[in-house]
Structure 1
Amino acid sequence: MSGDGAPLHEAVARFLVYLRVERRYAPRTADNYARELQLLTRHAETQGVRSWRTLQPAQLQALVAAEHRRGRGAGSLHHLLAACRSFFRWLLREGELDASPAAGVRAPKLRRKLPHVLDVDQAQRLMELDADDALAARDRAALELLYSSGLRVAELCGVRWRDLDLDEGLVRVTGKGSKTRVVPVGSQALAALRALRPALAAAETPVFPGRHGAPLTPAALRLRLKRRAGEQGIAQRVHPHLLRHTCASHLLESSGELRAVQELLGHADIATTEIYTHLDFQRLAQVYDRAHPRARRR
């Protein structure tokens, strides 16, 4: 444990080791934390803070205000505060803080953006990609699995044949925070995966390989999907997370089962999933305005 007066960066360095080693955060996520906490540390030093015990909420609020004046948006400032709060919670557990300096600190109000989705006809057209060669078969299976199971792009790229149960129609994926979940796979996706599977596929072989047999990278998959959407005449920009949104929206629209959609997507907080109910009501309003005799606008 570091005492008062120890360099601020030492505590930050130990926290980042905790995230990478104990919590097994993805490198990109840990790097994001590192950047935000480096900013916090520099600000604290300019305020004359030499120990995290002496950092005051007003000083943290001043950092948020300064970053807002520099042009950072509300969403980015919420990420900054989330990183700070995680760090302070860890310091509290380590006994290096008596109270969190983030208590009562607020970022500008976040405008909630509804995710874009494909309608059912667009999704159907996208999935009708001709799998006439090995590369097209791989892309078709990736599209089907993204739309069928609502996977994140990193989850899809990490799937190996050992993770698939084609008989039961299930796939095991590892999501944020190294949390594992098992989700169903639809019949069309299963058919595409069976057509893709080599006769002697090893259990450790990636389902979606890139060059030299290594797993396809998220960046490469995004490029493939963008290209395939263009070939299928989809004007909207198509990316893996769009298919995750589309899966969730279509499933909720058909079933109304919010908890089931939460489990499918691997959301820790159902409030994250509830955004799709707003999307559903928006669609309902559009249908009502278009179809109900008493709703037609003049």
Structure 2
Amino acid sequence: MKDFFGRWRGDLPNARKYAVACRDYVMTKLAYLSGVRAAELCGVCLGDIHWEHGQWGRFVVLGKGARGSGPRPREAYLFQEGRALLWWYIEEIRGEFRDDAEHPRAPLWPSERKSKAIADLNVPVAPAIVPSTFRRALHTAAAHYLTGPVSDLFPHLLRHACATHNYERGMTLWEVQKVLGHDWSTTTLRYMATAHADPELANLAASSRAAQRLVMDKGNLR
């Protein structure tokens, strides 16, 4: 994934439609970092971003409800890399699309075309791209920049990669579950069938976290 995104970003200045290429790149990278579903990501508006929440900011998505309970809002994580990338996109790229980028209900990922109906209604915001558009953009990027045994990408595979790679980097199962917005850890486990965990490194990381908590607890008691 690191090589894939590196090749893609390096080629952005050569894109025929630079703003659209940057939108697709940032959207894909954020899907990988945050683990959100395509439909959730497509529905994000500028007013859904809360830079002040958590350590690096979060954004609200309309998540999939458990056991048929229907969609429900939840906060998705930006993390440090996602915050920097999204800030760059909003500051440098989002304004290139022909709508009111200051409007709180303006889509984070606008379509490059304003339909005639919307223009006639004088609506200040552009329509958001739909999941099928995102899938096509991802398929095209994979064909150009992806190397290795996997030859294609689709949005749900990014969600699986998010779970697997975060677990391999040391996140606990509960933390990965929180990132993905799952109600049940058994669901999260199915996302990590290809994870290559190292029990010894995990033990060291757990010991380090326990020691840090002990130090913090002692400091709070003083």
Tell me the residue number matched to 1:270: 185
Q: Secondary structure at the match of 1:231?
A: helix
1:188 is the counterpart of 2:81: yes
- What's the Cα RMSD here? 2.4
Task: Give the gaps of 5 or more residues in structure 2.
Answer: 65-69, 96-100, 115-125, 199-222
TM-score where L is the length of structure 2: 0.66
Q: Is there any run of 5+ residues in structure 1 with no aligned partner, and where?
A: 1-119, 285-298
Q: Which amino acid aligns with 2:38?
A: V
1:97-140 CA-to-partner distances (Å, cap 9, x unmatched) read xxxxxxxxxxxxxxxxxxxxxxx544544663544311111011
Per chain length, whose mean CA-contact separation is higher, i.e. which structure has more relative contact order (CA < 8 Å, sep 6+)? 2
**Structure 1 residue 224: Cα displacement:** 0.6
Contact 1:129–1:140 (8 Å) recurs in 2: no
Partner of 2:103: 202
Please tell me whether residue 143 in structure 1 is matched to residue 28 in structure 2: yes
**SS at 1:171's partner residue?**
strand
2:9 to 128, 134, 144: 128
Mark the CA change 1:121 to 1:196 in structure 2 (over 3 Å): closer, same or farther: closer
Give the aligned partner of residue 220 of structure 1.
Answer: 133
Tell me if structure 2 keeps the 8 A contact 1:137–1:195: no
> What is the match of residue 59 of structure 2?
171
How far did 1:169 drift?
2.0
Alignment length (residue pairs): 165
- Higher-Rg structure is 1
TM-score (norm 1): 0.50
For 1:252, the equivalent position in structure 2 comes to: 167
Identity %: 31
Deviation string 1:169-226 (CA, Å, 9 cap, x unpaired) is 2111111121211122033332332232245421100011113221101111100111
